[in-house]
């Protein structure tokens, strides 16, 4: 693969394009056929070979336009002396090679094509495509200028001194420095912007949901939907689990008919991994409301991987909110839920009792109950007996607590009483923890 195409594939991957090594090799072979002369044909060819979805095609075309359009030398160069008496005479090989004399000559002549070619070559030698962070812009700017012949250019400027020609060359040197810096910034956007965005996403996924800054909330919603979509694709299809050690005699005999029924190729029994059926009870009191928003968004983005989902919210009393979440976007549904039942004083005993009285029949041996809350009922009766009956009727109870485990059972926390009735009782304060718990639930088919 030629270096420009290799750099383009790296830039596209950094921007988020999923391109495997095999697809990159196919792209190189396709480019050998169509050539590089026709830019539109080249873009369409790469789009056909590398992009697999409509979004990826738009991403590739945007990356293509940025990669193959050079913003360097966009600003006009400073004026240079025009009178013959002000031009330098003789010496120092001003027309030779690509050293300082050659760089000085290109600057005096305004040879943008020559300067662009020299900058491209120097950037490749300096490894500009490896730029990773903004603080490296000045470093790579210096490296590129040095490879273009900055040292010899400095000697030429010193030789000319304070003459008009020397002043003109100084101005053009600073102009060149600014253009090279802009070129380095452009490559930073190409090769590092995607990685910087992924680092930001990793930071957000590890941040406590209750501490997410207001300006990051919209980005968090995008990240939650992306995680849920990834899990839905992975676990939404029908899956089977092999039961090694239990021979399926009937299928083994049928598969080995070519060998007279001798079991050369054994077939093991397997069972279908069912999609989990979920009932979610979310505490939406003030201390847990921020976490509840992201949990509900996460679960309601997983419809393809679930056979059924019913959501309930409570502070003191419990209300089913499945219809609210189903008929409008989460951004409008959450405020409506909060107006209906949110920001009250938590009373887990009343909420559990109300759920038992009104919705206990929705539970069966296939249902997983997920409770999100800190287990702090303001010293009211926790009604642990109700949670025990829920656990006996459902397949399992999973309790997600945004508090660290060391705080469970302290003050008005009843988690030490609820935990024995839960198959899983875990701290869930970040998006990363939420993803791991839900992924495990989907992988095991609800248990």
pLDDT in tens, the chain (447 residues): 677 788 888 888 877 788 888 888 888 899 888 887 888 898 889 988 888 888 888 888 888 888 877 666 666 667 655 433 344 444 433 333 333 458 888 888 888 888 888 998 898 888 887 887 788 889 999 999 999 999 999 999 999 888 988 898 999 999 999 989 988 888 887 777 666 677 777 888 888 887 777 777 778 878 887 777 776 666 555 544 555 567 777 888 888 887 776 767 777 777 655 666 888 898 888 767 777 778 777 777 776 556 678 889 888 788 898 888 778 777 788 788 888 877 777 889 999 999 999 999 999 888 889 898 899 988 899 999 999 999 999 988 999 998 989 999 888 899 999 999 999 899 988 888 888 887 887 776 555
Q: What is the per-residue pLDDT across 120-155, written as a single tens digit (0 to 9) for each?
A: 889 888 888 788 778 888 999 999 999 999 999 999
pLDDT at 273 (0 to 100) = 54
Q: Do 310 and 362 meet the contact criterion of CB atoms below 8 Å apart?
A: yes
pLDDT at 387 (0 to 100) = 95
pLDDT at 385 (0 to 100) = 94
**SS3 call for 74:** coil
Q: Do 368 and 308 meet the contact criterion of CB atoms below 8 Å apart?
A: no
- Token pair belonging to 304: 């393809």
pLDDT at 95 (0 to 100) = 35
Q: If you count them, how many residues does the chain have?
A: 447
State residue 282 phi and psi, 5-degree precision.
-110, 125
**SS3 call for 60:** helix
Burial 404-415 (b: 16+ CB within 10 A, else e): eeeebeeeebbb
pLDDT at 76 (0 to 100) = 67
User: pTM of whole model > 0.85?
Assistant: no
Q: Which residue's structure tokens are 């790296």?
A: 10
Q: Do 14 and 56 meet the contact criterion of CB atoms below 8 Å apart?
A: no
Query: CA nearest 64: which of 19, 25, 33?
Result: 19
Q: What 3 state SS string does 224-291 have?
A: HHHHHHHHHHHHCCCEEEEEEEEECHHHHHHHCHHHCCCCCCCCEEEEEECCCEEEEEEECCCCCHHH
pLDDT at 145 (0 to 100) = 93
Q: Do 380 and 414 meet the contact criterion of CB atoms below 8 Å apart?
A: no
H/E element, 372: strand 367-372
Contacts 24+ apart (CB under 8 A), 160-166: 160/88, 163/86, 163/88, 164/81, 164/86, 165/80, 165/81, 165/86, 165/87, 165/88
State residue 240 phi and psi, 5-degree precision.
-125, 145
**SS3 call for 371:** strand
Q: Do 394 and 368 meet the contact criterion of CB atoms below 8 Å apart?
A: yes
- Token pair belonging to 109: 């002549």
pLDDT at 445 (0 to 100) = 56
Q: What is the per-residue pLDDT across 273-302, written as a single tens digit (0 to 9) for each?
A: 566 688 889 888 876 777 777 877 777 777
Looking at residue 77, the DSSP 8-state letter turns out to be P
Q: Give the Å distances, CA to CA, from 283 to 204, 341, 369, 400.
A: 23, 10, 14, 11
418 Cβ partners below 8 Å, 6+ apart? Answer: 348, 371, 375, 382, 384, 387, 399, 425
pLDDT at 59 (0 to 100) = 84
pLDDT at 189 (0 to 100) = 79
Q: In what order do the strands lie in the sheet with 367-372?
A: 318-320, 308-314, 277-283, 367-372, 396-401, 424-427
Strand partners, 61: none
H/E element, 16: none
* Chain-centre distance for alpha carbon 7: 21
* Residue 124 burial (C-beta neighbours within 10 Å; 0-12, 13-18, 19+): middle
pLDDT at 233 (0 to 100) = 65
pLDDT at 415 (0 to 100) = 93
- Token pair belonging to 160: 């000319």
pLDDT at 195 (0 to 100) = 67
pLDDT at 359 (0 to 100) = 93
Q: From CA 381, how far away is CA 262, in angstroms rounded?
A: 65
* Chain-centre distance for alpha carbon 15: 10
DSSP string, 292-314: HHHHHHHHHT-GGG-SEEEEEEE
């Amino acid at each position: 693969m030629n270096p420009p195409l290799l750099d383009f594939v790296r830039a596209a991957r950094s921007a988020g394009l999923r391109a495997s090594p095999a697809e990159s090799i196919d792209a190189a072979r396709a480019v050998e056929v169509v050539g590089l002369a026709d830019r539109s044909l080249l873009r369409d060819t790469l789009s056909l070979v590398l992009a697999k979805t409509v979004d990826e095609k738009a991403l590739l075309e945007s990356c293509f336009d940025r990669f193959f359009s050079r913003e360097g030398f966009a600003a006009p160069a400073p004026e240079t002396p025009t009178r013959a008496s002000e031009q330098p005479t003789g010496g120092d090989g001003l027309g030779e090679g690509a050293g300082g004399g050659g760089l000085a000559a290109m600057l005096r002549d305004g040879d943008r094509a020559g300067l662009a070619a020299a900058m491209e070559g120097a950037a490749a030698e300096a490894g500009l495509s490896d730029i990773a962070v903004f603080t490296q812009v000045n470093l790579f700017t210096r490296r590129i200028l040095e490879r273009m012949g900055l040292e010899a250019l400095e000697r030429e400027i010193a030789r000319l001194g304070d003459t008009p020609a020397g002043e003109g060359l100084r101005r053009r040197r600073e102009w060149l420095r600014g253009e090279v810096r802009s070129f380095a910034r452009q490559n930073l956007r190409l090769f590092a912007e995607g990685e910087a965005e992924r680092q930001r996403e990793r930071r957000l996924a590890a941040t406590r949901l209750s501490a997410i800054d207001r300006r990051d909330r919209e980005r968090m919603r995008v990240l939650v939907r992306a995680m849920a979509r990834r899990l839905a694709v992975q676990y939404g299809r029908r899956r089977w689990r092999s039961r090694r050690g239990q021979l399926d005699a009937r299928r083994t005999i049928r598969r080995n008919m070519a060998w007279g029924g001798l079991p050369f190729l054994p077939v093991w029994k397997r069972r279908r991994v069912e999609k989990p059926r979920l009932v979610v009870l979310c505490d939406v009191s003030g201390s847990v409301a921020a976490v509840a928003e992201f949990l509900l968004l996460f679960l309601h983005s997983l419809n393809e991987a679930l056979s059924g989902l019913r959501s309930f919210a409570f502070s003191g009393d419990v209300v089913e909110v499945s219809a609210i979440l189903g008929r409008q976007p989460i951004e409008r549904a959450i405020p409506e839920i909060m107006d209906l039942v949110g920001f009250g004083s938590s009373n887990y005993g009343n909420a559990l009792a109300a759920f038992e009285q009104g919705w206990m029949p929705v539970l069966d041996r296939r249902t997983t109950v997920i409770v999100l809350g800190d287990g702090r009922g303001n010293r009211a009766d926790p009604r642990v007996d109700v949670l025990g009956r829920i656990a006996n009727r459902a397949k399992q109870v999973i309790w997600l607590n945004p508090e660290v485990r060391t705080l469970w059972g302290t003050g008005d926390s009843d988690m030490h009483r609820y935990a024995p009735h839960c198959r899983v009782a875990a701290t869930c304060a970040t998006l990363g923890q939420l993803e791991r718990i839900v992924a495990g639930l989907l992988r095991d088919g609800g248990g």
